[in-house]
Protein backbone atom coordinates (compact mmCIF):
# COMPACT_ATOMS: atom_id res chain seq x y z
CA UNK A 1 0.00 0.00 0.00
CA UNK A 2 2.79 2.32 0.86
CA UNK A 3 4.44 1.41 -2.42
CA UNK A 4 1.37 2.56 -4.33
CA UNK A 5 1.23 5.86 -2.40
CA UNK A 6 4.79 6.74 -3.32
CA UNK A 7 4.17 7.05 -7.10
CA UNK A 8 0.92 8.89 -6.35
CA UNK A 9 2.79 11.45 -4.29
CA UNK A 10 5.24 11.89 -7.10
CA UNK A 11 2.43 12.41 -9.61
CA UNK A 12 0.65 14.89 -7.31
CA UNK A 13 3.91 16.75 -6.77
CA UNK A 14 4.49 17.01 -10.50
CA UNK A 15 0.96 18.33 -11.06
CA UNK A 16 1.34 20.87 -8.23
CA UNK A 17 4.68 21.99 -9.64
CA UNK A 18 3.13 22.30 -13.07
CA UNK A 19 0.27 24.37 -11.67
CA UNK A 20 2.67 26.59 -9.74
CA UNK A 21 4.82 26.92 -12.79
CA UNK A 22 1.81 27.88 -14.90
CA UNK A 23 0.70 30.47 -12.36
CA UNK A 24 4.14 32.00 -12.31
CA UNK A 25 4.13 32.17 -16.08
CA UNK A 26 0.79 33.91 -16.22
CA UNK A 27 1.87 36.31 -13.46
CA UNK A 28 4.96 37.10 -15.51
CA UNK A 29 2.82 37.82 -18.60
CA UNK A 30 0.58 40.18 -16.56
CA UNK A 31 3.59 42.02 -15.14
CA UNK A 32 5.15 42.40 -18.61
CA UNK A 33 1.87 43.81 -19.99
CA UNK A 34 1.71 46.42 -17.20
CA UNK A 35 5.35 47.35 -17.81
CA UNK A 36 4.65 47.91 -21.52
CA UNK A 37 1.64 50.08 -20.64
CA UNK A 38 3.73 52.25 -18.31
CA UNK A 39 6.38 52.65 -21.01
CA UNK A 40 3.75 53.86 -23.48
CA UNK A 41 2.45 56.40 -20.92
CA UNK A 42 5.93 57.79 -20.37
CA UNK A 43 6.54 58.02 -24.09
CA UNK A 44 3.29 59.92 -24.60
CA UNK A 45 4.48 62.62 -22.16
CA UNK A 46 6.89 63.89 -24.81
CA UNK A 47 4.03 64.13 -27.31
CA UNK A 48 2.02 66.20 -24.82
CA UNK A 49 4.89 68.65 -24.35
CA UNK A 50 6.03 69.11 -27.95
CA UNK A 51 3.48 67.37 -30.17
CA UNK A 52 0.78 68.88 -32.36
CA UNK A 53 -1.78 68.49 -29.59
CA UNK A 54 0.00 71.19 -27.53
CA UNK A 55 -1.56 74.50 -28.66
CA UNK A 56 -1.34 77.01 -25.77
CA UNK A 57 -2.98 79.84 -27.72
CA UNK A 58 -6.07 77.75 -28.49
CA UNK A 59 -6.76 76.81 -24.86
CA UNK A 60 -8.24 78.98 -22.13
CA UNK A 61 -7.03 78.26 -18.64
CA UNK A 62 -9.66 77.66 -16.00
CA UNK A 63 -9.59 79.45 -12.66
CA UNK A 64 -8.48 76.22 -11.06
CA UNK A 65 -5.59 75.90 -13.52
CA UNK A 66 -4.63 79.56 -13.06
CA UNK A 67 -4.42 79.16 -9.28
CA UNK A 68 -1.00 79.76 -7.68
CA UNK A 69 -0.65 76.06 -6.85
CA UNK A 70 -0.59 73.41 -9.57
CA UNK A 71 -3.70 71.21 -9.84
CA UNK A 72 -2.78 67.88 -8.29
CA UNK A 73 -5.38 66.09 -10.44
CA UNK A 74 -3.46 66.92 -13.62
CA UNK A 75 -0.87 64.57 -15.06
CA UNK A 76 2.75 65.61 -14.42
CA UNK A 77 3.23 66.53 -18.05
CA UNK A 78 0.12 68.76 -18.05
CA UNK A 79 1.26 70.39 -14.83
CA UNK A 80 4.44 71.45 -16.61
CA UNK A 81 2.43 72.82 -19.54
CA UNK A 82 0.06 74.81 -17.33
CA UNK A 83 2.97 76.17 -15.32
CA UNK A 84 4.67 77.35 -18.52
CA UNK A 85 1.43 78.93 -19.73
CA UNK A 86 1.10 80.88 -16.48
CA UNK A 87 4.69 82.10 -16.77
CA UNK A 88 4.05 83.14 -20.38
CA UNK A 89 1.02 85.21 -19.34
CA UNK A 90 3.01 86.87 -16.54
CA UNK A 91 5.83 87.72 -18.94
CA UNK A 92 3.35 89.16 -21.47
CA UNK A 93 1.89 91.45 -18.80
CA UNK A 94 5.38 92.57 -17.77
CA UNK A 95 6.26 93.32 -21.42
CA UNK A 96 3.15 95.50 -21.78
CA UNK A 97 4.05 97.39 -18.61
CA UNK A 98 7.62 97.91 -19.82
CA UNK A 99 6.40 99.20 -23.19
CA UNK A 100 4.19 101.74 -21.40
CA UNK A 101 7.14 102.85 -19.29
CA UNK A 102 9.32 103.20 -22.39
CA UNK A 103 6.66 105.32 -24.13
CA UNK A 104 6.40 107.55 -21.06
CA UNK A 105 10.18 107.93 -20.87
CA UNK A 106 10.34 108.77 -24.59
CA UNK A 107 7.83 111.58 -24.02
CA UNK A 108 9.92 112.91 -21.14
CA UNK A 109 13.05 112.81 -23.29
CA UNK A 110 11.26 114.71 -26.08
CA UNK A 111 10.12 117.38 -23.60
CA UNK A 112 13.63 117.71 -22.22
CA UNK A 113 15.08 118.03 -25.73
CA UNK A 114 12.58 120.76 -26.54
CA UNK A 115 13.40 122.49 -23.25
CA UNK A 116 17.11 122.26 -24.06
CA UNK A 117 16.67 123.69 -27.56
CA UNK A 118 14.50 126.52 -26.27
CA UNK A 119 16.95 127.46 -23.55
CA UNK A 120 19.89 127.30 -25.94
CA UNK A 121 17.93 129.49 -28.30
CA UNK A 122 17.67 132.23 -25.66
CA UNK A 123 21.11 131.72 -24.15
CA UNK A 124 23.00 135.00 -23.63
CA UNK A 125 25.77 134.15 -26.11
CA UNK A 126 23.40 133.29 -28.93
CA UNK A 127 21.23 136.32 -28.32
CA UNK A 128 24.31 138.48 -28.25
CA UNK A 129 25.33 137.15 -31.66
CA UNK A 130 21.85 137.77 -33.08
CA UNK A 131 21.79 141.29 -31.68
CA UNK A 132 25.16 142.00 -33.26
CA UNK A 133 23.82 140.74 -36.59
CA UNK A 134 20.72 142.95 -36.29
CA UNK A 135 22.77 146.00 -35.37
CA UNK A 136 25.13 145.41 -38.29
CA UNK A 137 22.31 145.08 -40.82
CA UNK A 138 20.39 148.12 -39.57
CA UNK A 139 23.52 150.23 -39.49
CA UNK A 140 24.43 149.20 -43.05
CA UNK A 141 20.91 150.10 -44.21
CA UNK A 142 21.02 153.53 -42.54
CA UNK A 143 24.44 154.36 -43.94
CA UNK A 144 23.13 153.71 -47.46
CA UNK A 145 19.83 155.52 -46.91
CA UNK A 146 19.42 159.07 -48.14
CA UNK A 147 16.79 159.66 -45.44
CA UNK A 148 19.43 159.02 -42.77
CA UNK A 149 21.80 161.66 -44.13
CA UNK A 150 20.52 164.15 -41.56
CA UNK A 151 21.87 162.02 -38.70
CA UNK A 152 25.47 162.02 -37.54
CA UNK A 153 27.53 158.83 -37.31
CA UNK A 154 26.92 158.73 -33.55
CA UNK A 155 23.17 159.07 -34.13
CA UNK A 156 23.25 156.13 -36.55
CA UNK A 157 25.18 153.99 -34.06
CA UNK A 158 22.63 154.79 -31.35
CA UNK A 159 19.71 154.06 -33.70
CA UNK A 160 21.20 150.70 -34.75
CA UNK A 161 21.96 149.74 -31.14
CA UNK A 162 18.44 150.72 -30.06
CA UNK A 163 17.03 148.50 -32.83
CA UNK A 164 19.06 145.52 -31.57
CA UNK A 165 17.82 146.08 -28.01
CA UNK A 166 14.20 146.23 -29.16
CA UNK A 167 14.68 143.05 -31.20
CA UNK A 168 15.98 141.27 -28.10
CA UNK A 169 13.09 142.59 -26.01
CA UNK A 170 10.50 141.42 -28.51
CA UNK A 171 11.72 137.86 -29.16
CA UNK A 172 12.47 137.11 -25.50
CA UNK A 173 9.11 138.41 -24.35
CA UNK A 174 7.27 136.36 -26.99
CA UNK A 175 9.64 133.37 -26.86
CA UNK A 176 10.04 133.44 -30.63
CA UNK A 177 12.18 131.06 -32.66
CA UNK A 178 13.35 133.41 -35.42
CA UNK A 179 15.17 132.00 -38.43
CA UNK A 180 18.04 133.79 -40.14
CA UNK A 181 15.75 134.75 -43.02
CA UNK A 182 13.12 136.15 -40.63
CA UNK A 183 15.81 138.07 -38.78
CA UNK A 184 17.01 139.70 -41.99
CA UNK A 185 13.44 140.59 -42.88
CA UNK A 186 12.94 142.23 -39.49
CA UNK A 187 16.23 144.15 -39.87
CA UNK A 188 15.41 145.45 -43.35
CA UNK A 189 11.64 145.89 -43.37
CA UNK A 190 10.66 146.85 -39.81
CA UNK A 191 13.59 148.05 -37.72
CA UNK A 192 14.70 150.94 -40.00
CA UNK A 193 11.39 152.74 -39.35
CA UNK A 194 11.86 152.20 -35.63
CA UNK A 195 15.45 153.47 -35.79
CA UNK A 196 14.34 156.68 -37.51
CA UNK A 197 11.70 157.16 -34.81
CA UNK A 198 14.38 156.70 -32.12
CA UNK A 199 16.77 159.12 -33.85
CA UNK A 200 14.14 161.85 -33.98
CA UNK A 201 13.07 161.10 -30.39
CA UNK A 202 16.59 161.51 -29.05
CA UNK A 203 16.75 164.98 -30.58
CA UNK A 204 13.64 165.90 -28.61
CA UNK A 205 14.58 164.26 -25.32
CA UNK A 206 18.25 165.28 -25.02
CA UNK A 207 18.56 169.01 -24.32
CA UNK A 208 22.36 169.11 -24.07
CA UNK A 209 25.50 167.34 -25.24
CA UNK A 210 25.79 165.72 -21.82
CA UNK A 211 22.26 164.30 -21.96
CA UNK A 212 22.92 163.11 -25.50
CA UNK A 213 26.02 161.24 -24.28
CA UNK A 214 23.99 159.67 -21.45
CA UNK A 215 21.36 158.46 -23.91
CA UNK A 216 24.07 157.15 -26.26
CA UNK A 217 25.67 155.22 -23.37
CA UNK A 218 22.29 153.73 -22.43
CA UNK A 219 21.48 152.37 -25.89
CA UNK A 220 25.01 151.26 -26.70
CA UNK A 221 25.36 149.47 -23.35
CA UNK A 222 28.56 151.21 -22.38
CA UNK A 223 27.21 152.47 -19.06
CA UNK A 224 24.99 150.99 -16.35
CA UNK A 225 24.36 154.34 -14.68
CA UNK A 226 20.65 155.16 -14.52
CA UNK A 227 19.45 158.16 -16.47
CA UNK A 228 18.34 161.24 -14.53
CA UNK A 229 14.63 160.95 -13.80
CA UNK A 230 13.64 163.92 -15.98
CA UNK A 231 15.70 162.73 -18.94
CA UNK A 232 14.35 159.22 -18.57
CA UNK A 233 10.79 160.52 -18.50
CA UNK A 234 11.34 162.61 -21.62
CA UNK A 235 13.05 159.74 -23.43
CA UNK A 236 10.30 157.26 -22.52
CA UNK A 237 7.65 159.66 -23.77
CA UNK A 238 9.16 159.72 -27.25
CA UNK A 239 10.46 156.13 -27.44
CA UNK A 240 7.31 154.36 -26.19
CA UNK A 241 5.21 155.29 -29.26
CA UNK A 242 8.04 154.02 -31.48
CA UNK A 243 8.08 150.71 -29.62
CA UNK A 244 4.30 150.28 -29.75
CA UNK A 245 4.24 150.85 -33.51
CA UNK A 246 7.05 148.36 -34.16
CA UNK A 247 5.58 145.70 -31.87
CA UNK A 248 2.19 145.96 -33.55
CA UNK A 249 3.85 145.46 -36.95
CA UNK A 250 5.83 142.46 -35.74
CA UNK A 251 2.78 140.92 -34.06
CA UNK A 252 0.89 141.13 -37.31
CA UNK A 253 3.59 139.91 -39.66
CA UNK A 254 5.32 137.28 -37.56
CA UNK A 255 2.07 135.56 -36.58
CA UNK A 256 0.48 135.55 -40.02
CA UNK A 257 0.53 132.17 -41.83
CA UNK A 258 3.16 132.03 -44.52
Indicate the pLDDT class of residue 53, thresholds 50, 70 and 90: very low
Q: Which of 26-30, 47-51, 222-226 has the highest mean pLDDT?
A: 222-226
pTM more than 0.75: no
Query: Is the Cβ–Cβ distance between 120 and 164 less than 8 Å?
Result: no
Position 106 confidence tier, pLDDT thresholds 50, 70, 90: confident
- List the chain domain ranges: 51-64+71-121, 124-255
Cβ atoms 135, 161 nearer than 8 A:
yes
Q: How far is CA 128 from CA 7, 59, 101, 123, 164, in A?
A: 135, 69, 41, 9, 9
Report d(CA 41, CA 61) in Å as an integer.
24
CB distance 76 to 45 below 8 Å: yes
Q: Using one digit for the tens of pLDDT, what is the confidence trace for 131-152?
A: 999 999 999 999 999 999 999 9
Which is more confidently placed, 34 or 109? 109
Average predicted confidence (pLDDT) for the chain: 76
- Of 56 and 232, the structure prediction assigns the larger pLDDT to 232
Amino acid sequence: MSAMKQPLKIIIGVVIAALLGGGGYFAYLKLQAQTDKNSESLASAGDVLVGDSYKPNSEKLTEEEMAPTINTKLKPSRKVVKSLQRENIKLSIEIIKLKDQIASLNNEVAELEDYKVTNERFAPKRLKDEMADIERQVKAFLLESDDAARFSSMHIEIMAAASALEYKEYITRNRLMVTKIQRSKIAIEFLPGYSFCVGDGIELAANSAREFDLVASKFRGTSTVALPSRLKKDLDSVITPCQNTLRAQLDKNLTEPS
